[in-house]
Structure 1
Amino acid sequence: MAYKITSQCISCNLCESVCPTGAIKVEGTRHWIDSELCTNCVGSIHTVPQCKAGCPTCDGCVKETNDYWESWFAKYNRVIGKLTKKQDYWERWFDCYSQKFSEQMQKHQGEILGV
């Protein structure tokens, strides 16, 4: 399974310079990976694919799946992960806001009652 360069690519050419097989191709400003040449860096001195490891955007170079369902579930899990994190964020925000609001109300009531 080869890797592919996504729309997150910033055309920094780091992947091209670190690829041990020369699988990274550039046509104008578009970068792409030749799947015939890409070996995922297996059989080389590298333990991880160098295009992925060297990418400064983290999502500029991703594993390309050939199986439709594998791709579907990968995207589904990414989306669910993002939604879950956002839900946690808003719950924490609400808890913090509620606590601060409650403290201010108690302080304000104390001032009104002269306590």
Structure 2
Amino acid sequence: MAYTITSQCISCKLCLSVCPTGAVKIVDDHYLIDSELCTNCVGSIHTVPQCKAVCPTANGCVKQPSDYWESWFSKYNSVLAKLTNKQDYWECWYNTYSQKFSEQLKKQQVVV
């Protein structure tokens, strides 16, 4: 599975200099990774793809899904992660709300 450069690329040129196979190219001021040359740094001295390792943005260089189902599950996991974060938000909201509500109940009980 080759890597691809996304729209979050900031054109820092770090991936150009570290790619051991020279798969990173500039075409019409856009950075591209040639899937024919990209080996994910397998067979080199590196244990992780160097374009991904040096990218200053977290999502400037990502794995490109090789088939339909792989891309489907990738999208599914992305959406699921977002939903999980929302759940954390609501759990935090509920805890804050319940704490403030219980404080108000205690104040009312003291007054009575």
TM-score relative to the length of structure 2: 0.88
Q: 1:27 to 1:98 in 2, by over 3 A?
A: same
Q: How far is 1:27 from its partner?
A: 2.2
3-state DSSP class of the match of 1:35?
A: coil
Counterpart amino acid of 2:6?
T
1:1-115 aligned within 5 A: 1-107=1-107, 110=110, 112-113=111-112
3-state DSSP class of the match of 1:65?
A: coil
Counterpart amino acid of 2:11?
S
3-state DSSP class of the match of 1:83?
A: helix
Q: C-alpha separation between the residues in 2 aligned to 1:101 and 1:47?
A: 53
Specify every segment of 5 or more residues in structure 1 that has no aligned partner in the other structure, as ranges: none
Q: What is the RMSD of the two structures over their aligned residues, measured on CA atoms?
A: 1.6
- Please list every run of at least 4 consecutive aligned residues from structure 1 whose deviation after the TM superposition is greater than 4 angstroms: none
Q: Deviations 1:18-53 (Å, cap 9, x if unpaired)?
A: 111111111243110011211111111100100011
Q: How far is 1:107 from its partner?
A: 2.6
Q: C-alpha separation between the residues in 2 aligned to 1:60 and 1:52?
A: 8
Q: C-alpha separation between the residues in 1 aligned to 2:105 and 2:11?
A: 54
Identity, in percent, stands at: 71
How many matched pairs?
A: 112
Q: C-alpha separation between the residues in 2 aligned to 1:103 and 1:17?
A: 59
Q: C-alpha separation between the residues in 2 aligned to 1:31 and 1:91?
A: 41
Q: How far is 1:88 from its partner?
A: 1.9
